[in-house]
A and B are shown apart, each in its own frame.
Chain A
Amino acid sequence: MSTGEYVPHAPGYVDSPGTKMVTSRFGYEDSYTLERSLATGGYEGLKAALAQAPDACHGITRDATVLGRGGAGFPAGIKWGFCPAEVWPRYLVVNGDESEPGTYKDRLLMERDPHQLIEGCLIACYAIGLSQCFLYVRGEMAIAQQRLADALNEAYEAGYIGKNILGTDFSVDIILHWGAGAYIVGEETALIESLEGNRGMPRLKPPFFPAAVGLYGQPTIVNNVETLANLPWLMVNGADAYKEHGSETSPGTRMFAVSGHVKRPGVYEVEQGITTYEDLIYGDDYCQGIRDGHELKMFIPGGGSAPWLFPEHVSLPLEARPVGAAGTMLGSGAIVIMDDSTDAVKACLRVVRFFARESCGKCAPCREGTSWEEKILQRILDGNGRPEDIDLLLDVADNISPGPYPVASDESQGLEAVPFPPRQTTICPLGPSSVAPITSAIRRFRHEFDAKISGVPVEVGS
């Protein structure tokens, strides 16, 4: 039985068994070249799309239910339909800003198979009449930028991008753009502000969708790298074939990065819905269990913004709806495993500190609240906590994200799950995301907080 292997030139990626829709070329060392891409079916999806009417390509994407892979899980085909009918031009902005704690997949897709992403962009532009595409790559990803620059140069030269693509009347430009270090720029309206050359602060809603009012006030589709990377496979194989994989409400595959205290941390492309957290964490083909001598204590199921789950939740399928109903989210496909050696207060502080550092400062509850949360948690961890600090933390949290907070069920205490998403007093979900680790940790490990505050040591892991 194959249990997959690490692929040395794609650090962290494991070629686990099963259908590969977006990582099929990762095994080739030169997977990023046009030559290798063309030798392995590259740009066939574009040709299949160009052989049909644009509407038909939009229809296939809608029928296949390609859920967004950037975090919110919104179906791409439906989002594309939100562009107002007679407003031109329309733009495509590719979200390659990957910076959610624990998330590692878009960088691999950009570094290892840039042509697949370019092809996905072309298909989206063709389907709904987007006349220019901006590939916004996170600033810190120098190698992804280099590979995409090389791939764009090759693809322009070969006539896959630019004027009259492959001899048709389809013409589009793809522009490589890169950021300069700011997590908040991953939020789609902040991404657009940044692409306009401004400070990367989210826009006030409404309008809720950039598809209506986006870049330069024009209809703009913002899609995640992995979402777009699905399109070539989809166009070649069709919506029915796509839906044969995964589950009914979450078809296809997804890339998951499993990090932390497992024996074989890695990035795995698996079918959604029919695979569970348990399969990924304990399966021979995947992470092969918690490191020796330890047990699972808790895990982050979908990136730093996601409320935590616990050992009794591992049987949940990797599917947006049940995970949402359990009080958290599949998010960006980032699973962080923490074993019984982990200090819950310390882990909580680290995630909260991230949000405090990355708050853009546009709205008061987040700007003031996240650093206040950090300060309180830091003094608790340092042994200087005050008896009222837990209530204070929850009160600050309540001002950023009024309760009830999304939380997983806690069967040991007879507590039900409160479903995701959270409520917010803020302009964007960053502030409320800081509440997720706090309520998760306090609800489950209050005794660890109490012990630090009272000064009576507690055995971590009890």
Chain B
Amino acid sequence: MSRLTDANVALAREMIARYPRPKSALIPLLHLAQEQEGWVSDDAMAHLAELVGVTAAEVRGTCTFYEMFKLHPVGTYMVNVCTNISCQLLGGEELLHHAEEALGIRPGGTTEDGLFTLEDVECIAACTEAPCMQVNYRYGLRLSTDDFDQIIADLRAGRHPQGLVTANPGEPIPSHGTLGLTRQQTGESKMAGVLPPEQVNEAPVWLNANATEDAS
């Protein structure tokens, strides 16, 4: 139940400045709130509304459309098992059933220690590597039930799970809410410049300035 920290407000302002209209930053900002807290609280939504200049109801309207945003606390690790067609053909549903038994929860549920939330998800774009899952959006591919158990055991023990693919070898699996471990850092000095659409009435200079003389 918190607003964004000062550091995150600074980051949010930087992100908002990259868009011609502030509301466009809303989904990345909701991710930022979720990164800070692990889920998206009412206070966070109200704060984002102030930052982008819309009502809190509008922020909620956007937020509730998207499955990745959680409106209540979830586990440190979101375990998303794919059961869509390519995975189903090669044991995705069996993997999900195994996950239910191993974790003792049903899809949507969270383990009592608060470590794992299980979800039954749609295609995650790794169909040739079926059956597969994501843990906090890092892939586990061509998984046997033993592979699954190993990944869970590693995470429980605080070890790096070899069974999950990360951008760099050995990179930590962040807790739920953090997606990529790096961000775009384009500062204003490097940018061509962002203007609201109503302030741009001419063709860009490289096209041929003359061609737009009679515009307007």
Contacts and interface: CB of A to CB of B under 8 A. Distances in A.
Interface of A: 11-12, 54, 86, 88-89, 98-104, 106-107, 126, 129, 131-132, 138-143, 145-150, 152-153, 156-157, 161-163, 168-173, 175-183, 194-201, 216-218, 257-261, 265-267, 300, 304, 334, 336, 338, 342, 346-347, 350-351, 354, 357-358, 360
For the complex of A and B, list the 10 residue pairs with the smallest distance between their C-beta atoms, beginning with the closest: A146-B180, A180-B66, A197-B26, A181-B67, A197-B23, A171-B192, A259-B86, A181-B68, A142-B137, A145-B180
A132 B184 contact: no
B65 A197 contact: no
B86 A139 contact: no
Nearest to A89: B200
A350 B85 contact: yes
B158 interface: no
B24 interface: yes
Interface in B57-88: 61-62, 65-69, 80, 83-86, 88
Nearest to A111: B167
Contacts of A351: 85
A197 B62 contact: yes
Say whether chain A's binding surface is mostly helix, strand, loop, or mixed.
Answer: mixed
B11 to A, nearest CB: 13
A347 B88 contact: yes
Given A132-B194, A175-B184, A197-B25, A182 B125 contact: no
24 contacts: A11-B139, A88-B204, A101-B84, A104-B125, A104-B128, A132-B194, A139-B31, A145-B180, A149-B182, A152-B186, A153-B186, A161-B186, A171-B204, A173-B194, A178-B31, A180-B69, A216-B21, A260-B86, A265-B127, A265-B128, A265-B130, A267-B128, A354-B122, A360-B65
B154 to A, nearest CB: 18
Interface of B: 18-21, 23-28, 30-31, 52, 54, 61-62, 65-69, 80, 83-86, 88-90, 122-130, 134, 136-139, 141, 165-167, 179-186, 190-195, 197, 200-208, 212, 214-215
Contact of A196 (B24, B61, B90, B181): B24
A198 B24 CA distance: 8
A461 to B, nearest CB: 14
Nearest to B138: A142
Contacts of B165: 11, 143
Contacts of A183: 122
B182 A129 contact: no
A239 to B, nearest CB: 21
B85 to A, nearest CB: 5
Nearest to A152: B184
A175 B18 contact: yes
Contacts of A182: 65-67
A173 B125 CA distance: 28
Nearest to B63: A180
Contacts of B31: 139, 178, 180
Given A162-B192, A265-B128, A350-B84, 13 more contacts: A101-B84, A101-B127, A102-B84, A143-B137, A146-B167, A170-B206, A171-B204, A180-B67, A182-B65, A347-B88, A350-B88, A354-B122, A354-B123
Contacts of B208: 54
A150 B180 CA distance: 10
Contact of B127 (A104, A146, A194): A104
A165 to B, nearest CB: 8
A141 B90 CA distance: 22
Contacts of B182: 146, 149-150, 153
B68 A199 contact: no
Given A145-B180, A200-B65, A336-B89, A107 B190 contact: no
B205 A169 contact: yes
B122 A180 contact: no
A346 B88 CA distance: 10
Given A86-B215, A131-B200, A162-B192, A173 B166 contact: no
Nearest to B82: A101
Contacts of A138: 125
Contacts of A358: 122
Given A152-B184, A162-B186, A194 B27 contact: yes
Nearest to A201: B65
B13 to A, nearest CB: 15
A173 B193 contact: yes
Contact of B190 (A156, A172, A258, A338): A156
A365 to B, nearest CB: 20
Contacts of B167: 143, 146-147
A132 B215 contact: no
B115 to A, nearest CB: 19
Contacts of A360: 65
B1 to A, nearest CB: 21
A199 B125 contact: no
Contacts of A342: 89
A265 B86 CA distance: 10
Given A12-B126, A172-B192, A101 B65 contact: no
Contact of B23 (A104, A142, A196): A196
Nearest to B202: A88
B123 A99 contact: yes
B85 A347 contact: yes
A437 B201 CA distance: 48
Contacts of B83: 350
Given A101-B84, A139-B68, A183-B122, A197 B24 contact: yes
